[in-house]
Amino acid sequence: MGFPKINIQGYLLRHLQVMLFSLGQLWRQPLSSLMTIIVIGIALALPAGLYVLLHNVEQVSDQWDDATQISLFLQQDVSQDQALALNKKLNTWPNIASTHYQSSKQSLEEFRQLSGLGSLLDSLPSNPIPAIIIIHPNDKDLRQDAIGSLLSRLEVLPEVEQAQLDMEWLQRLRSINKTAQRGISILGLLLSLSVLLIIGNTIRLAILSRQSEIRVIKLVGGTNAFIRRPFLYTGFWYGLLGGLIGWATLLSSLSLLNGPINELAELYGSQFTLQWLSASLLLSLPSIGLLLGVSGAWLAVSRHLNDIEPQ
């Protein structure tokens, strides 16, 4: 069986013709088409841009994750020998990568240098600063709960006064991030919906302005599919071009941000550079636009086509 080859070619050719015809119609009303396309582009670029920024914040906080360390403040009455023995013992624990012992004297010196309060310290009768052991946990992406259990095991050691993990702010940042992510998802959803409605409404107006033409086509035997096709391709072009405009908006906004962000990173002595859109996101913006365009057009056409009948 199978279809004759020429028919399939003819079918594709007709689709191509309608596709170009729809593009030509947009071209014939450049101003109104452009405005619609830009609105769609901005509506798509906004959530995508926020997503990129959020993605970058996540990268930064991931970098900080490597710097996770536990400061073990030792009891005042622990001797240096005891402390060194503890240091050695801790080094053998499986989930500790390395430890560093710093005597109370060294700590005092460090504090003196960094704080500039040397003369005040001299006036104290004894050294108030305890010896510390700085611990780097083993697993780089050590989970929160694992870190927590390590922390509680360290805290109960008799030599230890206090074990401190400076992670709380990181956790807060993470949950702020999570909140922002959800917010951006909701925003993206709402803006996608508005793109759908914008395209739907634009197509609806196009249908209404061509009512008499649709009637004539129905009278000479045009099927609904035939009448639907140019409108679907109009939606296709709106979506695709809107997606490309959104993409361009996003790239130019990010390149505007790139300079200041690099400066900022340099000031903080950080290696951070703005992560650009991943290839998949670059592709997804026009494809999401295209999908929204065709579905918006489909909604409008299926809603209005049956109302227009020859009289």
User: Which positions lie near other proteins, rule CB under 8 A?
Assistant: 10-11, 13-14, 212-213, 215-224, 226, 309-311
> Closer CB to other proteins, residue 134 or residue 222?
222
Strand partners for 99: 135
- Min CB(283)–other proteins separation in Å: 34
d(Cα 125, Cα 167) in Å, to the nearest integer?
34
> Closer CB to other proteins, residue 171 or residue 223?
223
- Min CB(21)–other proteins separation in Å: 11
- Min CB(223)–other proteins separation in Å: 4
Quick check: 211 and 307 in contact, CB under 8 A? Answer: no
Quick check: 285 and 247 in contact, CB under 8 A? Answer: yes
- Min CB(229)–other proteins separation in Å: 11
> Closer CB to other proteins, residue 63 or residue 211?
211
> Closer CB to other proteins, residue 86 or residue 227?
227
- Min CB(177)–other proteins separation in Å: 53
> Closer CB to other proteins, residue 169 or residue 226?
226
Taking the CA atoms of the chain, what radius of gyration do you get in angstroms?
33
d(Cα 214, Cα 224) in Å, to the nearest integer?
10
Quick check: 131 and 102 in contact, CB under 8 A? Answer: yes
> Closer CB to other proteins, residue 9 or residue 115?
9
- Min CB(201)–other proteins separation in Å: 22
- The answer to whether the Cα torsion of 290, 294, 295, 296 is positive or negative is positive
> Closer CB to other proteins, residue 212 or residue 271?
212
- Min CB(213)–other proteins separation in Å: 5
> Closer CB to other proteins, residue 13 or residue 35?
13
- Min CB(293)–other proteins separation in Å: 24
